[in-house]
Each structure stands twice: as structure tokens, then as C-alpha cells.
Amino acid sequence: MSYQEKRTIVSIISGLIILSAYSLYTYGKYKSGVVIEGDLKFWAGAMLLFIAIGIVSTIIIQIVFHILLSVTIAVKAKVNNEDCDDKEIEKSIQSEMVTDEMDKLIELKSSMVGFIVAGIGFVLALLLIFLDYSAVVMINVMFASFSLGSLFEGFTQLYFYRRGIKHG
Amino acid sequence: MAKKIVITNEIRKFRFFANEMTQQQLAEKVGVSRQTIISIEAGKYSPSLELAFRIAVAFEVKINEIFDIEVKGD
């Protein structure tokens, strides 16, 4: 499995963990009766909190992932060739983590998929308001669609890395 | 309607004749990841013109010796 695929899987897993944590937290609060029906301030606060947690945890997870990957590459390089120096190890790490034109094309096409999912969710949220659903349902659908859009982006990236990608 | 073309390549053959150059070595020479070389070799990704030229330069041959096209249909 390539570095790009591993990085994508790590992003998907961290996204899933954040979405699950948000669902469990809000469902727990809702079930316990702490949240009053239609309390938009609570939902907005919970979403802001989990967006902040999501950003911070993604940064930390990516840093830890890159450190672990670098250590793994360095150990492999030493096992394969005991005489290799730090410069060679650094070169191996850099060549493993290079981002090229194929990665950019995959990123572009998969982000398009992510935006489509988020866009569909946004339209669905507006439709729900039109159909007299509460504003709480609307903002949750919007939040879920943006989160799902991000997850779809990751799965699309994995698909393109496995199946290949064509221009156009 | 435009005819469908499939870009084929002889990278594997040229690697063999270049003293069994590894995919990693070729990737480093042309400045891409090993994953990209694997995809090009397997026909899963068509490189940009610039990358195709870089690969040709790496093997010191003309681009049409490595890359060719197959026209599908009428």
C-alpha cells in the first residue's frame, strides 16, 4: 500500500471518529433531556466544538502518522542496508512522501465528488425547511452532508489510487 | 465523434534494459512517486506530456519509443 493510500485511510478514519463522537455526544444529550426541542444555540455550539476538535485532531493525527511513517521507512532502510547514512534515509523518506501530478489530479476529481455530496446535502436541508421541518433538522442535515462529503472525498481518492485515473 | 485512443507504454522493457532499474529509481529520476510509475506501467494513468518527456529523457530515448497509442473502434 502506498503512502498516499495510507494517508487517505488515516484521514477517513479520523473523519469517521469525529462524526461518531459528535453523533454520540449530541444523541446522549438529546436522550437525557438536557437539550430543549428547537434549542439552536446548543446545536450550533456542539457543531462549532466538534469542528474545532476535528481540525486539531486531524493536525495531531497527521503529525503522528508522518512521524510513525518516517520511523518505519528509516528502520526499513537500516535493515536493508546497515551502512546507509542519515542523508540516504532522509532521501528515502522524501521520495516516499512526494506529491506529484497524479496526486493533484486525484485530489481535484475527488474534491469535486466531495463538493457534489455537500451540495446535495445543502439542497436537501433547504428542502426540509420548505417541507416545514425544524431548523434543528436542517442544520444537522447540513453538518452531516459536509462531513459525508469529506468522507466521500476520501473514498473516491482510494478508488482512484486503486483503479487508476484518466485525464478529462 | 472522436475516436477512442489508448496510450500504451514500454517502460517495463526500458527499465529492464537500463540494468533492471527499479520503479523507485525511475520515480526519483523523473520526480514523481513510485505509485505513479506503477500506475503508468499498468496503463491506469496517462502521464502529462512533460512527465512523458521526463521519462524519455531518463532512458535517453525519443518519447515515441516509449509511448504509443492504440486507436479503438472506427
Domain-wise residue ranges, chain A: 3-163
Asked whether the beta carbons of B63 and B14 are under 8 A apart, the reply is no
Asked whether the beta carbons of B40 and B9 are under 8 A apart, the reply is yes
pLDDT recorded at residue A168: 65
What is the pLDDT averaged over residues A100-107? 92
pLDDT band at A35 (very low <50, low <70, confident <90, very high): confident
pLDDT recorded at residue A153: 94
The pLDDT tens digits of the residues spanning B36-50 come to 999 999 988 999 999
**A and B: number of Cβ contacts within 8 A:** 50
Task: Give the minimum alpha-carbon distance from B60 to chain A in angstroms, rounded to a whole number.
Answer: 22
Task: Give the minimum alpha-carbon distance from A115 to chain B in angstroms, rounded to a whole number.
Answer: 24
DSSP at B2: P
CB contact under 8 A, A101 and B32: yes
Helix (H) or strand (E) holding A59: helix A40-80
Residue A95 has pLDDT above 80, yes or no: no
Query: Which residue of B lies nearest to A159 if distances are taken between CA atoms?
Result: B44
CB contact under 8 A, A95 and B33: yes
pLDDT band at B7 (very low <50, low <70, confident <90, very high): confident
DSSP at A147: H
Residue with more model confidence, A65 or A88: A65
pLDDT band at B74 (very low <50, low <70, confident <90, very high): low
pLDDT recorded at residue A148: 93
What pairs with residue B5 in β-bridges? B71
pLDDT recorded at residue B11: 93
What pairs with residue B9 in β-bridges? B67
pLDDT recorded at residue A84: 75
**pTM score, whole prediction:** 0.82
Question: At B9, phi and psi to the nearest 5?
Answer: -150, 160
pLDDT band at A32 (very low <50, low <70, confident <90, very high): confident
The pLDDT mean for chain A works out to 88
Closest CA to A5 of A166, A163, A168: A163
Mutate to test the interface with B, among A4, A98, A104, A105 (most CBs of B within 10 A): A98
pLDDT recorded at residue B5: 83
CB contact under 8 A, B33 and A164: no
Residue with more model confidence, A39 or B9: B9
pLDDT recorded at residue B16: 92
pLDDT band at A155 (very low <50, low <70, confident <90, very high): very high
Percentage of residues of chain A with pLDDT beyond 90: 45
CB contact under 8 A, A95 and B28: yes
User: Using CB atoms and an 8 Å cut-off, which of residues 32-51 of chain B contact chain A?
Assistant: 32-36, 39, 42-48, 51
